[in-house]
Amino acid sequence: MTVVSPELLRRFDVPGPRYTSYPTADRFVEAFRDRDYVLALTQRRLCGATALPLSIYVHIPFCESLCYYCACNKIITKHHERAELYLDYLGKEIDLHVAQLGAGQQVSQLHLGGGTPTFLSDEGLRRLMVMLQRNFALAAGGEYSIEVDPRTVDAGRLALLAELGFNRLSFGVQDFDPKVQKAVHRIQPAEQVFALVETARTLGFESVNVDLIYGLPRQTPESFDQTLALVEQLRPDRIALYAYAHLPDRFKPQRRIHAEELPGAEAKLSMLSRSLEALMAAGYVYVGMDHFALPTDALAVAKRQGRLHRNFQGYSTQPDCDLIGLGVSGIGRIGATYSQNAKTLEEYYDFLDRGRLPVVRGLALSRDDLVRRAVIMALMCQGELLFEPIEQAWLIDFRQYFAQELEQLEGLAAHGLVALGSEGIRVTSMGWFFVRGIAMVFDRYLQADRNRARFSRII
């Protein structure tokens, strides 16, 4: 495997976005409100058959216990009746979308995230899926996934998820080391996860994903090797390997983590490098940045065929989609707009009580935003950018339009992170460690605003 020198680490391990969108969500403005979102929905309806495929994300914010590393929008409670009221309001939000788009819009991708979606009772999960299936047409062969906290499910609940139409599961593991689990307040024995994954395979789920996090308190490269060895035995179809972002000023739960117990930057880089080596030696395809997949998994196939995409849930096999974000803090993309719902239950409920979609901020993308989004997503997904397709699609001279950016890339090329040619840009094997940093070169907002402290570090 490529060895990244300490000098490169010091130079390029800087804060930066993950680019699940461009422009990034921190650029959303409160001037974009529900009326702007309604206009975007109207424009989609008028497009008719030429509209982009549709994806739905549903945010379930509730969790029974607090994980100290978590940066998600969540509500810690053991009162499960709160979820019943929440489902009432999700129904209202769905009705408002149907009023704008019409019933029966075909959906090819559905994802339930959180929080903990499996906080919902069996009856709650049934009720949610009935609401969605009554108002949207879930396409045959679509991707229907749900995030699962292993502590909240058993074999019976997994059978229910299969019955409801979910075909992909994502288990939150993070680390198998009991010392690390104790430090982040998330105890879940490896035996429990192994049993659930075996059950999921028996039930016929098409893909099982496991989430891991490196950089957590009390982790060392050696201890994380042990977690990786267990994951190799578990052999999930996909693995998401995330770097922990310690931002206690932004995320209050992280203040319970002792900073002196966090591994340093070079230890984190060692974990990443060793993870790459171990997982690829075990037969996984390095899809990009934080995703691995077995060669037969749809994600790896999309990577080989150049069909990989990136959205608010990370890498995806689905083509460029419009996205409806349902629930508190849900983020959507319709046409050339992004939108985000209210972040508190009180405000979310208040909007819906007044018969209004709960959008409180968003962004209408400019032509320059769209050009740069195409460039950044090509680098993040394919690791290669050809000038000619961008020039033809957007009627620009790439070298002239991005003259300043190409000059900056020469410095990255000198360090072996990118290869610059007459026809395009290619991310090298070394450059994949820093692909977020390469994409940052084309981020007009970030280049104009050097205050990057709000982002996690790219390694």
Q: Which residues are annotated as a binding site for [4Fe-4S] cluster?
A: 63, 67, 70
Helix axes 387-394, 367-381, angle to 10 degrees: 160
CB atoms under 10 Å from CB of 368, counted, come to 12
Phi-psi region of 383 (alpha: psi -120 to 50; beta: other; left: phi over 0): left
- Distance CA(406)–CA(365), nearest Å, equals 23
Exposed/middle/buried for 405, CB within 10 Å: 0-12, 13-18, 19+?
A: middle
Nearest-CA neighbor of 116 among 78, 163, 143, 144?
A: 78
Cα dihedral across residues 276, 435, 300, 114: positive or negative: positive
Binding residues for S-adenosyl-L-methionine: 57, 69-71, 114-116, 147, 174, 186, 211, 245, 331
Binding residues: 57, 63, 67, 69-71, 114-116, 147, 174, 186, 211, 245, 331
Residues 6+ apart with CB under 8 A from 239: 209, 210, 211, 212, 231, 279, 284, 291, 292, 293
* Residue environment code for 131-149, b if the CB has 16+ CB neighbours within 10 A, otherwise e: bbeebbebeeebbbbbbbb
And the tokens for 77? 């409670």
